[in-house]
Protein backbone atom coordinates (compact mmCIF):
# COMPACT_ATOMS: atom_id res chain seq x y z
CA UNK A 1 0.00 0.00 0.00
CA UNK A 2 1.38 3.39 -0.78
CA UNK A 3 2.07 5.94 1.91
CA UNK A 4 0.53 9.36 1.89
CA UNK A 5 -2.66 11.11 2.69
CA UNK A 6 -4.84 10.16 -0.28
CA UNK A 7 -8.37 10.87 0.96
CA UNK A 8 -10.00 8.11 -1.10
CA UNK A 9 -7.60 5.50 0.14
CA UNK A 10 -7.82 6.55 3.77
CA UNK A 11 -11.64 6.58 3.66
CA UNK A 12 -11.75 2.95 2.48
CA UNK A 13 -13.07 3.70 -1.00
CA UNK A 14 -10.51 1.34 -2.54
CA UNK A 15 -11.80 -1.49 -0.39
CA UNK A 16 -15.40 -1.20 -1.62
CA UNK A 17 -15.35 -4.34 -3.78
CA UNK A 18 -13.74 -6.35 -0.98
CA UNK A 19 -16.24 -5.16 1.59
CA UNK A 20 -19.11 -5.87 -0.80
CA UNK A 21 -17.73 -9.40 -1.35
CA UNK A 22 -17.51 -9.93 2.40
CA UNK A 23 -21.15 -8.90 2.89
CA UNK A 24 -22.21 -11.13 0.04
CA UNK A 25 -20.32 -14.11 1.49
CA UNK A 26 -21.88 -13.44 4.89
CA UNK A 27 -25.38 -13.37 3.38
CA UNK A 28 -24.73 -16.54 1.36
CA UNK A 29 -23.53 -18.35 4.47
CA UNK A 30 -26.55 -17.20 6.45
CA UNK A 31 -28.83 -18.27 3.60
CA UNK A 32 -27.29 -21.75 3.55
CA UNK A 33 -27.68 -22.09 7.33
CA UNK A 34 -31.32 -21.02 7.15
CA UNK A 35 -31.94 -23.48 4.33
CA UNK A 36 -30.44 -26.28 6.43
CA UNK A 37 -32.69 -25.38 9.37
CA UNK A 38 -35.77 -25.32 7.15
CA UNK A 39 -34.80 -28.62 5.61
CA UNK A 40 -34.31 -30.22 9.02
CA UNK A 41 -37.59 -28.91 10.42
CA UNK A 42 -39.85 -28.71 7.38
CA UNK A 43 -38.15 -30.96 4.85
CA UNK A 44 -40.44 -33.99 5.15
CA UNK A 45 -43.55 -31.79 4.92
CA UNK A 46 -42.09 -29.87 1.95
CA UNK A 47 -41.33 -33.19 0.22
CA UNK A 48 -45.02 -34.12 0.51
CA UNK A 49 -46.08 -30.74 -0.87
CA UNK A 50 -43.60 -31.05 -3.75
CA UNK A 51 -44.84 -34.56 -4.58
CA UNK A 52 -48.45 -33.38 -4.69
CA UNK A 53 -47.59 -30.37 -6.83
CA UNK A 54 -45.84 -32.63 -9.35
CA UNK A 55 -48.92 -34.86 -9.43
CA UNK A 56 -51.18 -31.84 -9.98
CA UNK A 57 -49.07 -30.56 -12.87
CA UNK A 58 -48.90 -34.00 -14.46
CA UNK A 59 -52.66 -34.50 -14.13
CA UNK A 60 -53.35 -31.07 -15.65
CA UNK A 61 -51.05 -31.81 -18.58
CA UNK A 62 -52.75 -35.11 -19.23
CA UNK A 63 -56.15 -33.39 -19.02
CA UNK A 64 -59.44 -34.91 -20.04
CA UNK A 65 -62.62 -35.58 -18.06
CA UNK A 66 -61.24 -38.54 -16.17
CA UNK A 67 -58.43 -36.35 -14.86
CA UNK A 68 -60.85 -33.72 -13.48
CA UNK A 69 -61.85 -36.00 -10.60
CA UNK A 70 -58.20 -36.86 -9.95
CA UNK A 71 -57.33 -33.16 -9.94
CA UNK A 72 -60.10 -32.41 -7.44
CA UNK A 73 -58.76 -35.12 -5.15
CA UNK A 74 -55.20 -33.83 -5.49
CA UNK A 75 -56.28 -30.26 -4.74
CA UNK A 76 -58.13 -31.49 -1.62
CA UNK A 77 -55.05 -33.37 -0.45
CA UNK A 78 -52.89 -30.32 -1.11
CA UNK A 79 -55.29 -28.04 0.77
CA UNK A 80 -55.26 -30.43 3.75
CA UNK A 81 -51.47 -30.64 3.71
CA UNK A 82 -51.05 -26.87 3.51
CA UNK A 83 -53.36 -26.39 6.50
CA UNK A 84 -51.20 -28.63 8.72
Give the residue among 82, 8, 72 at the shortest CA–CA distance from 46.
Answer: 82
Give the contacts of 56 (CB within 8 A, at least 6 positions apart).
71, 74, 75, 78
Predicted confidence (pLDDT) per residue in 25-70, tens digit: 999 999 999 999 999 999 999 999 999 999 988 888 877 666 788 8
What distance in Å separates the CA atoms of residue 50 and residue 41, rounded to the nearest whole number? 16
Q: Give the pLDDT mean for 3-14.
A: 57
> Which is more confidently placed, 72 or 21?
21
pLDDT at 5 over 90: no
- CB 60 within 8 Å of CB 71: yes
pLDDT at 76 over 80: yes
Q: Give the pLDDT mean for 6-28.
A: 80
Residue 62: predicted pLDDT: 79
Residue 26: predicted pLDDT: 97
The pairs formed by 71-75 with CB atoms below 8 angstroms and a separation of 24 or more are none
Amino acid sequence: MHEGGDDCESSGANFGPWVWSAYRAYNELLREKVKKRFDAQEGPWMDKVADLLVQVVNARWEGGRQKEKELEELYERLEKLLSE
